[in-house]
Structure 1
Amino acid sequence: MAHIPARRTGAALAGGALVLLAGSLTGCGGESAANSGDSGSGSGELTVGVLFPGSLSDDGFMESAYRGYQRAAKEHRGKVAFSKVEQVQAADYEQALVRFATTSDLVISLGGQTDADVRKVAARFPKVKFAEVGGPADGKPTANLALYDPQQAQAAYLSGAAAALLSKKNTVGFIGGAELPAIVNAAKEFERGARQAKPGVKVLAPSYVGDFNDAAKSKQSALADFGAGADVLGQILNLGHKGLAQAATGRGSLLIGGPIAHPCGSEKAYAGYVETDIGAELEYATDQLVQGKWKAEAVHFGLTFEDPQNNLVLCDGAAPAVVEKLDDIKARLASGKITTR
């Protein structure tokens, strides 16, 4: 693989995977939200509860975040008792957050789809600390609510640049799981990155599937874009990306993957991946809690953070000129010479 290096690579595309899967307020083993922990609560331990709206094995945002959850639980074993709930219906977010708020020192919610509920619950429990990962990039923290931005817009910018430079038909497209603010903004940054890398490239209007895990609908959207002339697609999907791969393979076209990268050649049609470590934000929140430094702040991660999480990996076969151009774009993003919204 042709790597465009970063100090740290991660597992899932930031901020996007807003998966609204059907589920109940139970953990993996049917436990209640308050009891679905990986570490037991002991005397003197701090407590952290995490709401994962989607599946922990979605090959996307939630899975990346869960990897960080596992790392944090291992790192702080004996100091922090963790509990979690996954696959929660949107109507039940508030109830899950209230359950955590009654038993936790820190409550973390994943995905911008939880924004309204976590703000509401945080206001009801002013003595509990809250953190939202992947909410609106322009959101404001409150007295007890921190906002962590994984900079998925930055990752989308890189994806757009790579798609444009790899396109032979000079036409690219973007497919998102849902028309939510963070995903719409990422689509705009995908277009900006494409035009920065290759002025004059045609960028199709973004498509929004309506479900991050629906492979059939994702395939239909991809076929429509390929039919409109695109030969490289960027995406923010979870399991739905399997439909994109089927469509791309059948048309001899390419995809830019992520947020979790896989070995080149293991997934047909993937020309490269943009990796983002969402789990690093759970680790950050927990570290701050343990050290007594936690505060209600807005933190922007990505390439400009002290320990960057976004990374672009191109598979073998990319022309040296393409790699060089993308190296330059990534360096300018990291330095702040190129900014995303």
Structure 2
Amino acid sequence: MRLTSKLTRVAVGVASLALAATACGGTSSENDGGGGSKEDLGLAIAYDIGGKGDQSFNDAAYAGLAKAKDEFGYKTADVEPTEGETDADKEQRLASLARQGYNPVIGVGFAYGPAMKAVAAKYPDTTFGIVDSVVEGDNVTSLVFAEEQASYLAGVAAAKATKTKTVGFVGGVDIPLIHKFQAGFEQGVKDTDAKVKVIPQYLTQTAEEGGFSSPDKGKAAAEGQIEKKADVVYQAAGLSGQGVIEAAAKAKVWAIGVDSDQYQQEALAAYKDYILTSALKDVGGAVYALAKSVQEDKPLTGTQVFDLKEDGVGLSESNPKMAEVPGLTDAVAKAKEGIIDGSIKVRTE
């Protein structure tokens, strides 16, 4: 079954909570002081590579958890990944959370796919959620996004902001999910100004090689693109993206963030003047929406698609310098309207 859910502006409240997320390790749980019986347990999330504190994808998920905890007053848990872990490790993690009584249990990232499929069948009374992947199951909700649409808007902004007619794209890992970011970005650039060159680069072929968790790799890639005259660099690289932003700020060129509004992230405050905008992906809103549906005893089911029309993706406008770039605001607004009304079809590869 394929469903589409409206987030009804959840992103605003969730984004503000994301600012509180900071790096930490291990497993953490938060209790409102209740008895902690199985009936009292609420949302649990298991982080993707890079973990909490990435100022991006995982922190957005944490913001959704924090909002649910604050609103529903129940115990929550968030669990860190381990380096070099296997599907069996992920399966054990999800099973442990379900066994303790958490509901829903959400795997943050496509890497949880095989583990989710195996565990969900063993715990039919628990609602499971997975971000960025589709897993079939009566008690599994797949939370997926139209990343290509937000990336298209980022491409429009980049084409308007570049002075060298050269922009860069840094993808964390060479996989279909990140190809969506690249495809949308390149299309947005070319539709806006066909003379602008896009330099794409992927950090690794597999996640295990650190493509989503190595700021040094991101920094080196961005430095290479900047040497080739790129004066706007868009990154879809998780924690590695922090290195891209650092390199851009050091060279005094534009960076475009991803997933969260990275202009607003405290850990990136030193570089914020060079973060033009961010391609938003409301992971926190999706996490919260699933938690709310379970709390109301009406669990979301099937595949939930969060796109531009539903405010599930978008482009941040926090940096006032965006308005100083000639034509940028109007071009982005026109592109957004075209995507929503269907006159612009954005590629996914």
Same fold (TM over 0.5): yes
Given that residues 127 and 294 in structure 2 are in contact (C-alpha distance below 8 angstroms), is that contact kept between their aligned partners in structure 1? Answer: no
Q: Which residue of 2 aligns with 1:49?
A: 44
* Residues 245-254 or 165-174, more deviating: 245-254
Query: Which residue of structure 2 lines up, in the alignment, with residue 322 of structure 1?
Result: 328
Aligned mate of 2:169, from 164, 168, 174: 174
CA 1:65–1:22 in structure 2 vs 1: closer, same or farther (change >3 Å)? closer
Given that 1:55 and 1:62 are in contact with CA atoms closer than 8 Å, whether structure 2 keeps it comes out as yes
The secondary structure found in structure 2 opposite 1:128 is coil
CA distance 1:337–1:100, shift in 2 (3 Å): farther
Of 245-254 and 260-269, the range deviating more from structure 2: 260-269
CA RMSD between the two structures: 2.8
Deviations 1:29-74 (A, max 9, x none): xxxxxxx344453474353322113422211111111011011011
Q: Is 1:276 aligned with 2:271?
A: no
1:101 to 98, 104, 108: 98
**Deviation (angstroms), 1:211:** 2.6
Counterpart in 2 of 1:260? 261
Please give the alpha-carbon distance, in whole angstroms, between the structure 1 residues aligned to 2:275 and 2:300. 40
**Partners of 1:42 and 1:81 within 8 A in 2:** no
Distance 1:119 1:44, change over 3 A: closer
Distance 1:245 1:104 in 2: 36
Deviations 1:58-92 (A, max 9, x none): 11111111011011011111xx4322212334322
Amino acid at match of 1:296: T
Q: Give the C-alpha shift of residue 180 in structure 1.
A: 2.8
What is the match of residue 145 of structure 2? 150
Runs of 5+ unmatched residues, structure 2: 1-7, 17-22, 205-209
Cα distance between partner residues in 2 of 1:43 and 1:230: 54
Which of 79, 85, 88 is residue 82 of structure 2 equivalent to? Answer: 88
Give identity over the alignment, percent: 25
Any runs of at least 4 consecutive aligned residues in structure 1 with deviations exceeding 4 A, and if so which? 6-10, 263-266
Q: Does 1:189 align with 2:194?
A: no
Q: Which residue of the partner structure matches residue 248 of structure 1?
A: 248
Native 8 Å contact 2:156 2:192 kept in 1: yes
Q: Normalising by structure 2, what TM-score?
A: 0.79
Report how many aligned residue pairs link the two structures: 313
Match of 2:213 in 1: 213
TM-score (norm 1): 0.81
**Structure 1 residues 140 and 212: alpha-carbon distance in aligned structure 2, compared to 1, 3 A threshold:** closer
Q: For residues 291-306 of structure 1, what are the structure 2 equivalents within 5 Å?
A: 291-305=296-310
Greater relative contact order, per chain length (Cα 8 Å cut-off, separation 6+): 1
> SS at the partner of 1:293?
coil
Partner of residue 70 from structure 1, selected from 37, 61, 66: 66
AA partner of residue 168 (structure 2): G
Query: How far does the alpha carbon of each residue in 1:142-166 deviate from its partner, in whole angstroms, 9 at most, with x for none?
Result: 2221101133222222222211221
Residue 3 of structure 1 corresponds to none
203-212 vs 65-74, which moves further: 203-212
- Does the CA contact (< 8 Å) of 1:148 and 1:298 recur in 2? yes
Distance 1:223-1:113 versus aligned 2 partners, 3 A rule: same
